[in-house]
Structure 1
Amino acid sequence: MVVLTRAGCHLCDDAIAIVQAVCAETGDTWATRDIDADPELRRRYTDEVPVTFVDGAQHDYWRVDPSRLRTALTARRR
C-alpha cells in the first residue's frame, strides 16, 4: 500500500491517518511517497493528492474511505 502525498496537504494528513488505522487492523504495510520529489509523479498526480495504491493499482484519490480501503486490502488475500 502506497500513499502519494505532498508537504502541507491537509487531505494527505487525513488520508495517512486513515491508512495507518486500517493497515493496523489488517496487518498490511504502507509507505508514503512525496510527489514533489519526482517530476513524473508531480506531473501525473499534482491535482489528485493524496492518491492511494493497493498492489500497484490506483485505489483512490483526494479522500480515503476506510471501509472501501479495508475491503480492498482484505479482498486481495482471497
Structure 2
Amino acid sequence: MTSRITLISRDGCHLCEVAEQTLERIAPGQWTRVAIGDSVELERDYGDRVPVVLLDGKEHGYWRVEEDRLLRDLGRPPGTPRL
C-alpha cells in the first residue's frame, strides 16, 4: 500500500523537522518523506516553499501542516474533491 501523504523536505530545515513530527503524531506510518535535493524537478517546483505536503500526489499545503484540514481530507476517498 502506498502512502497517501508525501512530505517534500530539506535536510537541516527546522520547519521540515516540525512537519515531520506533526505527521508522525497525527498519521504515524502513513506518510513518506522525499528530500527536495534529490530531484531537480522538485527543487524547481517547490524551491524555498518546503516543507510541502502532498495528499494523493497533489499539493495540500506548504510551510506548515494544517492538521484539521489534512485529517478531514484523509477521511475522504482518494480522488474526492477537497474544499
TM over 0.5: yes
Give the structure 1 partner of residue 61 of structure 2: 60
Q: Distance in 1 between matches of 2:47 and 2:57?
A: 18
Which structure dedicates a bigger proportion of its chain to helix?
A: 1
Runs of at least 4 residues of structure 1 off by over 6 A? none
Q: How does 1:1-78 map to 2 (within 5 A)?
A: 1-24=5-28, 29-76=30-77
Cα displacement (A) at 1:23: 0.8
Relative contact order, higher structure (CA 8 A, sep 6+) = 1
Give the number of equivalent residue pairs: 75
TM-align CA RMSD: 1.6
Give TM-score scaled by structure 2 length.
0.82
For structure 2, the residue ranges without an aligned partner over 5 or more in a row are none
For structure 1, the residue ranges without an aligned partner over 5 or more in a row are none
For residue 75 of structure 1, give the secondary structure of its aligned residue in structure 2: coil
Give TM-score scaled by structure 1 length.
0.86
| Cα-to-partner distance string for 1:28-64 (whole Å, 9 max, x where unaligned) | 6210000111111011111210000111111000011
